[in-house]
């Protein structure tokens, strides 16, 4: 059944692909952080069409599957002359999908700021930009950092979906190894254990961070 | 062209909804079993439920589905696609659901339990008559969100060639090569299926907060 020799033989190749998985995770996370903040700000905008669009976008993206969104980006955009590599398409898809979740995280942080802070900024004649930059965001982001960390872990776990648009990350490598030898057990088990170990240990780290932030 | 594609989309939609409903029912039971299991007074039960939850939350549905469909046969367990799909979806959602069950039960104020003990209720009466009715109401919105996640997760079964909505769309796309129309319709269908749930959650949340402040 389980063949240790074979498992040890394929391990280096799977570990090599982990690099792609990790870099896709981080690039997508940056996309999600930036777009998420823009969505939150757009939703709070006084300009109705903009806030309606942001709200609709969040609702739509959150209730449709990431896999289908990736297909859309990867197969539809080339029809309009925008061909993307699997990595770029994957990072955009994953980033946009989770930006809608991070928008809620930012919103939670911003709404927890007491109204007195807004009033004080106004009384001190801060411009809108400065109010956000110097008063609101510096207070609303640190408390939600653990939640963001949890989404980083979630995104890491979701990267195997990018194999569906032919990105050769860890899952795709496992699939190829499996189809070569007709042995899927070792390759998929290694991938599963890797994800479990990495995501569980990082979630413990996030939990520690949460405790430390609560103490202050 | 629409006459050709809409009937096959309909077939796919039925499979997707079936998958969602079956998995939701099984996940619901798993969530309660594992959620109560983690609060059990027996160490072994707590450990067992925690292991289940951490394994299925620590890896993604994608990996679980592929493991069940492609790796289990090496142990001599060959599952039909539909069974493998429902199994992976419900085990995954059940793990997330157990956290909902656990956290809502913990969040029922302690005074409620103490009052029930003071009234000489048995542990079973305490749970059934005092704790659960309050916890269940709080569980409704997060369970609604879980069903939406489940619905989105069903798209992955297309990768083990179960003919759900997404699979139908990819097959159509490779035969008639109209990605714009096909994938737009696909996204809209998923959105429409999820609408009753998103609306329902909003309605329940509204009802729950009524009269609170």
**C-alpha dihedral sign at B12, A188, A203, A93:** negative
Q: Judge whether B205 is closer than 8 Å to chain A, CB to CB.
A: no
How high is the ipTM of this complex?
0.91
Q: Measured at the alpha carbon of residue A187, what is the angle toward residues A184 and A189, in degrees to the nearest 5?
A: 95
Q: CB-based contacts of A49: which residues, under 8 Å, 6+ apart?
A: none
Burial of A61 from C-beta contacts in 10 A (0-12 / 13-18 / 19+):
buried
For residue B54, give the nearest of A72, A178, A200 by CB distance: A200
Place of tokens 């419900």: B90
pLDDT at residue B208, rounded to an integer: 80
Q: Is the CB of A79 less than 8 angstroms away from the CB of B152?
A: no
pLDDT digit string (tens) for B134-182? 999 889 999 999 999 999 999 999 999 999 999 999 999 998 888 999 9
Q: CB-based contacts of A156: which residues, under 8 Å, 6+ apart?
A: A21, A22, A25, A195, A198, A199, A202
C-beta of residue A3 within 8 angstroms of C-beta of residue A183: yes
pLDDT at residue B7, rounded to an integer: 87
Nearest residue to B87 (alpha-carbon basis) of B146, B26, B31: B26
What confidence tier does A215 reach under pLDDT thresholds 50, 70, 90? low
CATH class of the A4-215 domain in this structure: mainly alpha
Strands (E), A25-89: none
Report DSSP letters for A134-187, one per residue: IIIHHHHSGGGHHHHHHHHHHHHHHGGGGGGGT--SHHHHHHHHHHHHT--HHH
For residue B67, give the nearest of A1, A59, A188 by CB distance: A188
CATH code at position B39: 1.10.3720.10
Give the residue from B19, B20, B70 with the most A CB atoms within 10 Å of its CB, the best one to mutate. B70
For residue A200, give the nearest of B58, B62, B74 by CB distance: B58
Structural domains counted in chain B: 1
Q: Is the CB of A188 less than 8 angstroms away from the CB of B60?
A: no
pLDDT digit string (tens) for A181-190? 888 999 999 9
- C-alpha B32/C-alpha B97 separation (Å) is 8
Structure tokens given for A142: 């640190």
């Amino acid at each position: 059944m389980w063949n240790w020799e074979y498992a040890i033989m394929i391990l280096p190749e799977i570990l090599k692909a982990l690099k792609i998985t990790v870099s896709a995770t981080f690039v997508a996370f940056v996309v999600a952080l930036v777009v998420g903040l823009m969505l939150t700000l757009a939703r709070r905008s006084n300009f109705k069409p903009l806030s309606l669009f942001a709200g609709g976008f969040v609702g739509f993206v959150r209730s449709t599957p990431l896999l289908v969104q990736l297909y859309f980006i990867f197969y539809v955009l080339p029809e309009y002359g925008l061909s993307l590599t699997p990595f770029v398409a994957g990072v955009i898809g994953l980033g946009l999908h989770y930006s809608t979740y991070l928008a809620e995280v930012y919103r939670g942080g911003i709404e927890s700021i007491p109204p007195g802070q807004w009033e004080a900024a106004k009384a001190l004649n801060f411009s809108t930009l400065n109010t956000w930059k110097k008063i609101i965001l510096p207070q609303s982001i640190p408390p939600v950092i653990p939640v963001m960390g949890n989404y980083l872990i979630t995104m890491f776990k979701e990267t195997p979906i990018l194999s569906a648009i032919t990105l050769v990350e860890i899952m795709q490598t496992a699939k190829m190894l499996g189809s070569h030898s007709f042995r899927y057990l070792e390759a998929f088990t290694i991938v599963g254990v890797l994800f479990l170990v990495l995501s569980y240990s990082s979630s413990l780290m996030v939990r520690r961070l949460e405790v430390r932030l609560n103490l202050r | 062209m629409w006459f050709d594609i809409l009937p096959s989309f309909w077939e796919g939609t039925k499979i997707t909804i079936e998958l969602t409903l079956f998995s939701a029912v099984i996940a619901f039971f798993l969530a309660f079993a594992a959620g109560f299991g983690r609060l059990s007074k027996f160490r072994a039960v707590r450990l067992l439920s925690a292991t289940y939850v951490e394994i299925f939350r620590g890896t993604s549905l994608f990996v679980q589905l592929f493991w069940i469909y492609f790796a289990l046969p090496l142990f001599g367990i060959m599952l039909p696609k539909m069974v493998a799909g429902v199994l992976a979806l419900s085990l995954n959602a059940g793990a997330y659901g157990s956290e909902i069950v656990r956290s809502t039960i913990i969040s029922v104020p302690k005074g409620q339990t103490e009052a029930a003990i003071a009234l000489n209720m048995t542990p079973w009466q305490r749970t059934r008559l005092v704790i659960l009715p309050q916890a269940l109401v709080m569980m409704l919105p997060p369970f609604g969100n879980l069903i939406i996640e489940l619905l989105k997760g069903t798209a992955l079964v297309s990768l083990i060639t179960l003919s759900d909505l997404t699979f139908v769309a990819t097959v159509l796309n490779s035969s008639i090569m109209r990605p714009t129309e096909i994938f737009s319709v696909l996204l809209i269908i998923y959105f429409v299926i999820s609408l009753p749930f998103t609306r329902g959650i909003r309605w329940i949340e509204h009802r729950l907060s009524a009269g609170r402040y």
